[in-house]
Structure 1
Amino acid sequence: MSKTSFIIIEKSYLIRKGMASLIEKIPNTSLIHQFDNEDDIKSLDHLEADFIILNPDLLSTNVLKAIKKIKNNTQLVSISDAAISISKDIDWAGSIFIEDSQNTILNKLNTLIGNRGSTKIKSELPEEISKREADILKNIALGFSNKEIADKLFISAHTVVTHRKNITRKLGIKTVPGLTIYAILNKIIDINDTE
């Protein structure tokens, strides 16, 4: 089976790298190229891709011309802030919002690939954490020690350690800063709570 290929056109380095890392998690996909400005996009006509993930802010006449030079069945996927309206003149195959979670983005990519007739792929998403694990994660992110968490939640320190191990295993995140970022992104804590 041939790989599903992607091109990313996005001005933000962080968003490009984030999308690239998500695409790499999906079996049988390849990232052909990343572009961040209109000048570089002119070389699009030498590339072939199944999908172009594109920031609509970078959509100009020159970019549209370059995209049309790529094989006809290339599909466009917008990546933008949910508040930005995307051009209705373009036939978008789908849209990804920068506020979307990892699970949501991978599900959208799975759907797009599945709709192209490719085999439906299994995304490797983190396991759900339990309500108790979320409580413990919240306290870890807020900087409490195992003993403080145990006292606060009326459980033993050993139970806290066991939950921490389960959280690390399920999420694949081993550092406290990483767990804190996860907690913020998944609205377990508010970013202002960490100050």
Structure 2
Amino acid sequence: MNKIKVIIVDDHDIVRDGIKALLSTFDDIEVVNEFSNGDEIVRFFQEQPGFEVDVILMDVNMPYNGIDTTQKLIECNEKLKILALTMHVEEMYIKKMLKNGAMGYVLKTCSRDELYEAIKSLHQGQPYFSKEASQMLMNQFMKNQKPKTSSLVTLDDLTKREKEILKLIALEHTNQEIAEKLFISPRTVDNHRRNLLQKLGVKNTAGLTRFAINSGLLDEDK
């Protein structure tokens, strides 16, 4: 049976010893080397870039931190599979480790079985993230899903009625005056105004007016 070859990188002896003891309970995993800081493993792979290892367990916060170490190792060998094993679940650490080439991210508080699952996943070419890291990434993704803003919206995205109302708003007409000009109710005008604020991603009449001017809506041929 071919064993999964693992390297441990952590600046605490007791942590490395604990991980080795834990992994020794699995018949299909073998710890083939260990390092106490990033500089040691980088120099090792610079001298032996073809050293056979399946998964590298990388601490993040240590001398010559795991973020920079991951980048240097990937530069040595882009096929290396690096799993961040850390106490940090902050978004900054997760994003930087992934950007620099890590394939997975788990916490040191994970269970024995979860660490085994993470190592197996990376060995099979699949990324792995702890529940906490996955939640952090999902929260960031959701925050980035913003409504379409005025910098992306054009006049073509507005209906004919929206253009008419927006132009009159920009010309400083009141809701009542707009309603009379377009033969609609003031409530309908107000509904259109609120929809325009949301669609254009602006907060007030000044924002609507600015969009109308910048888009050329107030030009004579509009």
> TM-score normalised to the size of structure 1?
0.50
More RCO (CA 8 Å, sep 6+): 1
Q: Which protein shows a greater Rg?
A: 2
